[in-house]
Chain A
Amino acid sequence: MTWSPQPERAAPPVLGDPASIAALSASMHRVARLIAGAVEAVEPLTGPQRRQGGELREITREAARLVAEVERGAEALSEHGADLADSLGLAHRIVDRAAPLGLRVDGTVVQPAAGVLGVADAGAEETREQHRRRLQRVLDTVLIELDASRRAVQRRLESGRTDPRASRRTSR
């Protein structure tokens, strides 16, 4: 128990809502299926409408491109949502482990908790410092892996996109 005033609420080491990212991924899968089904139901034009067949083919081609792109995006988001959930769980465990050791996780830093924690003891201080370094290393690993996952999802969402106007121009 500390005798000094309670410190301000610490910032969580990992932020984000994996459930909302998973919900977006599920929506994207659903949307892709919806469009694919509607496109499959469109039959080739016959009779006097054959003159518009070229435009219809371009539309179905563009729809197929969109479906594939949305599926890829959904997959990327799904994987990132799982990584984020793992990181949140691990960060939560680090915060829980830190408290009984007289440590506090504030943002990305593990530090000694504020206030009087007990009788001054050099050995205990050294042990606490060792615990702090170890927890900081684990937290750093979690944050680095989450950062890699974030970079990967950013890259996949940005690189997966092609300019539809460009594909239209090349298809003509």
Chain B
Amino acid sequence: MTTSPPAGRPHLAGAASAPGTLDRSLEPGQHPTHRSAITQLRDLEMALEQAGEELFAVVPFAGDDLTGAVINGYVDRTVADLRNLQSRVAQLRQVLHLAARSSADPSGQEDRR
């Protein structure tokens, strides 16, 4: 995992909500952006999962074997890419979750309990 500082999003500009929005369900000591970033990543994860399921649900009949195989192969590879990305998002979400927990409990007492 890279550790370079963020320099804004390279693609898909135009966020749905303003950055740094306070999440009112934060726990004491938690950084305001932690929870919202985790929630956003969870939403992205779910979108990727839903996308994969939707693509697999449609069964095209191309009419000839070669075209059918190419289309099916394309869908399979796309779904594999979606799942790969989904697992990366899940991993990042988990890292952020752990970081949020440790910043809320810097002494590590929670872990020792």
Please give the residue numbers on chain A whose beta carbons come within 8 Å of chain B beta carbons, in ascending order: 14-17, 20-21, 23-24, 27-28, 30-31, 34-64, 66-67, 69-70, 73, 77, 80, 84, 150, 153-154, 157-158, 161, 164, 172
How far is A71 from B10 in the complex, measured between Cα atoms in Å? 19
Task: Tell me the interface secondary structure of chain A in the complex.
Answer: helix
Q: Taking the nearest CB of chain A, how far is it from the CB of B50, in angstroms?
A: 7
Residues of A within 8 A of B40 (CB): 41-43
B5 close to chain A: CB less than 8 A: yes
Which residues of A have CB within 8 Å of B67?
Answer: 80, 150, 153-154
Residue B99 interfacial (CB < 8 Å)? yes
Distance between A110 CB and nearest chain B CB, rounded to angstroms: 19
In the complex with contacts A35-B51, A60-B11, A157-B44 CB distance below 8 A: no
- Cα distance A1–B32 when bound, in Å? 84
**Which residue of the partner chain, among B55, B60, B85, contacts A63 with CB atoms under 8 Å?**
B85
A32 to chain B, nearest CB (A): 8
Distance between Cα atoms of A17 and B63 in the complex (Å): 7
Closest A residue, CB atoms, query B92: A55
Contacts of B4 in A (CB 8 A): 53-54
| Listed A/B pairs (28) with beta-carbon separation below 8 Å | A16-B61, A17-B61, A23-B60, A24-B60, A27-B54, A27-B57, A28-B55, A34-B51, A35-B82, A36-B12, A37-B47, A41-B44, A43-B36, A45-B37, A47-B32, A52-B92, A53-B6, A53-B7, A54-B2, A57-B7, A60-B10, A60-B11, A63-B11, A73-B74, A73-B78, A77-B71, A150-B67, A157-B73
